[in-house]
Chains A and B, each alone.
Chain A
C-alpha cells in the first residue's frame, strides 16, 4: 500500500545502450498500472529498477515518498511475481510461501496461519506439501502469486506472469488477478506485451517503445484517443488501418478524401476538429477495423475494394481486402449482420464497397506521427 514515483529514471547499460530514457510516472496508492510494449521496449527493465534488481543509472525512484535508489531489494518491501514462476525447486509449496516470513524470523505458528490463509484464497491448500515440479503451470503460478501475497508488501510487481500459460488458462488467471486485486487493495505494477491483458487489467496503461513512454492513460483513453501512430496501431486487434488521406475543411465541415471517395467527418470528431481549428492538410488517417462498414452499393463516400482473405472468427468475420491502388485494409463484419447469400458472396476476389465511420476517425501528422487532436509530451 504505497505510491510509487519515478522521476527522470534512466537505464544505460555498460555498452552504452540506453534501455530507458527519462521515465516519469506517478503511481497512486492502490492503483493498477500496466507497462505494455513490444519486446525490448524497456518495460521489464523499468520494473526491475523499481524492484532493485537493476541499478538505476540516473533519476530517482520513490516508494511512499522515500527514495529507494540505493536500497537492496530486500529492504524495499516489494513483492514480485516472475514470468517463469521462479519457485524454489527443492522446497515444498508451503516452504516456498513461508520462505520470506522465515527470513523475517517470524514465529512458526504465525507463519502457519498466514500461509494457510493465503493458500485458501488461492485454492492451493491441497498442494501445500507438494514440490513445485509436481504442479501444473497454473498451480505454479498460483504458488508464485501466493509467495508474493503472503508478505503484505507495499507494492506488487508482476513481470509477464501469464506468458508461460496456455491461452485458455491465461484468460482464467487474468480474471483471477482482477479478483485478487480487489481483495488485496495494494499497488500493482504489471508488465506485459499483450495489449489484451493491459486493457483488461489496468487502471492506467503505460505504453512504451524503445525506452520512451508513448502514452499514459486509462484503457478507454489509449483506445479512443491514441496520441500517436504507435499507440494507435499497438492497442486493438486486429490493428488499426492507417492510410494516407487529405483532410478538407469546407467552412467548418470536414471531409476526408481518399481513394477517390469523399467521406464526411461527422459527430463529435467533426466538432472537435472545428474547435481545434485544424486546417485542411495531408494526414495519415487511422480507422479501426470495426469502424469500416460494408455498403450495399457504390456511392460518393464508398471505396471499391477487392477481397483477399476471409477469416471466420465465429461471431464476426475478419476481411482482408485491397483498394484499387493496392493499399491493404482489414475490417470486421459481425456475422449476424449478414444474410446467408451475402456471406456466400464473400469469396476471394469479390468486389465490395466499403465506407469509413467519420465520427471515430483518427488523424495523424504524416511527419511527426502524432495525433492532430491529442498529443502530449511525457
Chain B
C-alpha cells in the first residue's frame, strides 16, 4: 500500500514565500521613508527596486507552493482510489516539474525586474515630454497637466535644423558605409592577393585604438577643408565613413559561409566579378545587408563627441545629440527641459521603428556572421 503524502513541504514553501513578500513590504516602507527625504533619487530608488524584487519573488514562491499543494492533494486522491500507476507517474513528474517551475519563475522574475529598471528612464522622458504645467525639471514623474505644447515648441527652435542635419548624415552614412563595407568584405572573403593577411591584421590592430585619438588632427584637417562649424555636415559624413572599411568582420564572416563554388559556377556561366556580387552573393546576404545598414545608420544618429567638436557651438552645424545637449546648460535648462524631453522622444522614434521592423534580420545578421563565420 502506498502512503499518502504529507502537506508539510508545500506549506513550508508558501511560508517562505510569505516571509520574502513580508521582507519586500518592509523594504517598501523603508524606501518610502527615504523617498520623503530625498525624492526619487539615491537610496529611495534602491529600496523600491529591492521591494519590487522581494515582492515578486515572494509571490512566485507562494505560487509554487500552491501548485505543489494541489499536486499533493491530487496524488493523495489517486492513492486513495487505488490507481497506483498513475500515482507513481505523477510522483515522478512532480519533482521534475516543480524544479523546472521554480527555476523558470526565478528567471522570469529577474528578467522582469531588469527590464523594468531598464525602462524607467524611457518612461520618465516620455511622461515628462507631455508635462505642460512648467518647463523646468521637477521631482515627480507623472505630469499634473498633459499637453503637446512641448512638441509644438520644438518647431520654434533650431531642432528641425538639427534633425535634418542628423538625418542627412545618417542616411549618407548608411548608404556609403554599406557599399564600402560590403565591397570590402567581398574582396577580403573571395580574392586572394599578396598582403591580404597583413592588411587584415593591420586593420585589426588599428581598430584597437580609440577613434578619439584622432580628434585634434581631424579637426585641423576639416578646418583647412572648410568643413567645420556651419559646414559640419559634410565633414561629419567624411569622418564617419572614412574608416568604415575596417568594419568588415561580420559581413566577411557571413560571406565566408557562402560556398565559393557558387562564385565559380557564376563565373563559368559568364558573370563578371561585379555580377557575382550583385546577382549571387548579395541576394543571399539580406540579413547582413540590413545589419550593416542599421549599424551604419545608428552610429552617427546617436554620436555626440565628434559632432560636438566639429560643429563647435555653431547651431547650424549641430546634430540632435549636440543640439539637445545645449538645452541642458545652466541658463537654458529651466526654460527648455520639457522641450528637451519631447526632442528626445522624436529622436528615438525612427530608430525604434526601424528596429521593430528589422530586428529579425538584425539578430540573424549578428548570429549569422559570428557563429557560422
* A86 near B262: Cβ-Cβ < 8 Å: yes
Q: Could you tell me which residues of chain B, from 237 to 271, have a CB within 8 Å of some CB in chain A?
A: 259, 261-262, 264-271
A139 nearest CB across to chain B (Å): 17
Extra contacts besides A74-B271, A74-B272, A99-B271 (20): CB < 8 Å: A51-B268, A53-B268, A73-B267, A74-B268, A74-B269, A74-B270, A80-B264, A82-B261, A84-B259, A84-B261, A88-B280, A89-B284, A99-B269, A99-B279, A100-B270, A103-B269, A103-B271, A103-B275, A104-B270, A151-B269
Minimum CB distance partner of B284 in chain A: A90
Interchain Cβ contacts under 8 Å between A and B, 20 examples: A51-B264, A51-B268, A52-B267, A53-B268, A72-B272, A73-B267, A74-B267, A74-B272, A78-B268, A80-B264, A80-B268, A83-B261, A84-B259, A86-B259, A86-B261, A86-B262, A100-B270, A103-B269, A103-B275, A104-B270
A52 to B261, CA, bound (A): 13
Q: How many residues of B contact A (CB 8 A)?
A: 17
A90 to B269, CA, bound (A): 16
Minimum CB distance partner of A81 in chain B: B265
* A72 near B261: Cβ-Cβ < 8 Å: no
Contacts of B350 in A (CB 8 A): none
* A82 near B264: Cβ-Cβ < 8 Å: yes
Is A43's beta carbon under 8 Å from chain B?
no
Contacts of A104 in B (CB 8 A): 270
Q: Could you tell me which residues of chain A, from 51 to 71, have a CB within 8 Å of some CB in chain B?
A: 51-53
Answer whether A86 and B275 are a contact pair too, CB < 8 Å, given A99-B269, A100-B269.
no
Minimum CB distance partner of A77 in chain B: B270
* A88 near B268: Cβ-Cβ < 8 Å: no
Is B139's beta carbon under 8 Å from chain A?
no
Is B283's beta carbon under 8 Å from chain A?
yes
B278 nearest CB across to chain A (Å): 12
Contacts of B264 in A (CB 8 A): 51, 53, 73, 80, 82, 86
A73 to B269, CA, bound (A): 8
A103 to B280, CA, bound (A): 13
* B265 near A82: Cβ-Cβ < 8 Å: yes
Interface string of A30-57 (1 = CB under 8 A from B): 0000000000000000000001110000
Count: A-B pairs, CB below 8 Å: 56
Contacts of A208 in B (CB 8 A): none
Answer whether A88 and B262 are a contact pair too, CB < 8 Å, given A74-B272, A103-B275.
yes
* A86 near B272: Cβ-Cβ < 8 Å: no
A90 to B268, CA, bound (A): 18
Contacts of A72 in B (CB 8 A): 267, 272
A72 to B266, CA, bound (A): 12
A151 to B271, CA, bound (A): 13
A347 nearest CB across to chain B (Å): 50
Minimum CB distance partner of A75 in chain B: B270
Is A147's beta carbon under 8 Å from chain B?
yes
Contacts of B271 in A (CB 8 A): 74, 99, 103
B185 nearest CB across to chain A (Å): 18
Is A248's beta carbon under 8 Å from chain B?
no
* A90 near B267: Cβ-Cβ < 8 Å: no
Is A79's beta carbon under 8 Å from chain B?
yes
Answer whether A80 and B270 are a contact pair too, CB < 8 Å, given A86-B259, A88-B280.
no
* A79 near B266: Cβ-Cβ < 8 Å: no
A132 nearest CB across to chain B (Å): 11
Main secondary structure of the interface of A (DSSP, over half): loop
Contacts of A151 in B (CB 8 A): 269-270
A100 to B265, CA, bound (A): 10
Contacts of A99 in B (CB 8 A): 266, 269, 271, 279
A151 nearest CB across to chain B (Å): 7
Contacts of A73 in B (CB 8 A): 264, 267-268
Contacts of B279 in A (CB 8 A): 99
* A79 near B284: Cβ-Cβ < 8 Å: no
Minimum CB distance partner of A153 in chain B: B268
**Shortest Cβ-Cβ A-B pairs, 8 listed:** A100-B269, A86-B265, A86-B261, A74-B270, A103-B270, A73-B267, A80-B268, A90-B283
* B267 near A53: Cβ-Cβ < 8 Å: yes
Interface string of A88-100 (1 = CB under 8 A from B): 1110000000011
B275 nearest CB across to chain A (Å): 7
* B265 near A80: Cβ-Cβ < 8 Å: yes
B261, B268, B271: residue with the most chain A Cβ atoms closer than 10 Å: B268
Contacts of B259 in A (CB 8 A): 84, 86
Contacts of B268 in A (CB 8 A): 51, 53, 73-74, 78-80
A52 to B264, CA, bound (A): 10
B255 nearest CB across to chain A (Å): 14
Minimum CB distance partner of A48 in chain B: B264
B270 nearest CB across to chain A (Å): 4
Contacts of A74 in B (CB 8 A): 267-272
Minimum CB distance partner of B265 in chain A: A86
Minimum CB distance partner of A78 in chain B: B268
* B266 near A88: Cβ-Cβ < 8 Å: yes
Contacts of B266 in A (CB 8 A): 88, 99
Minimum CB distance partner of B258 in chain A: A89
Minimum CB distance partner of B275 in chain A: A103
Minimum CB distance partner of B269 in chain A: A100
A79 to B280, CA, bound (A): 18
Minimum CB distance partner of B262 in chain A: A86
Contacts of B265 in A (CB 8 A): 80, 82, 86-88, 147
A24 to B49, CA, bound (A): 81
A331 to B266, CA, bound (A): 48
A87 to B259, CA, bound (A): 10
A89 to B268, CA, bound (A): 17
Contacts of B272 in A (CB 8 A): 72, 74
A286 to B151, CA, bound (A): 95
Contacts of A103 in B (CB 8 A): 269-271, 275
B372 nearest CB across to chain A (Å): 15
B262, B270, B272, B275: residue with the most chain A Cβ atoms closer than 10 Å: B270
B264, B266, B269, B279: residue with the most chain A Cβ atoms closer than 10 Å: B269
B259, B265, B267, B272: residue with the most chain A Cβ atoms closer than 10 Å: B265
Interface string of B265-294 (1 = CB under 8 A from A): 111111110010001100110000000000
A74 to B269, CA, bound (A): 6
Interface string of B34-45 (1 = CB under 8 A from A): 000000000000
A278 to B361, CA, bound (A): 75
A74, A83, A151: residue with the most chain B Cβ atoms closer than 10 Å: A74
Minimum CB distance partner of A51 in chain B: B268
Minimum CB distance partner of B268 in chain A: A80
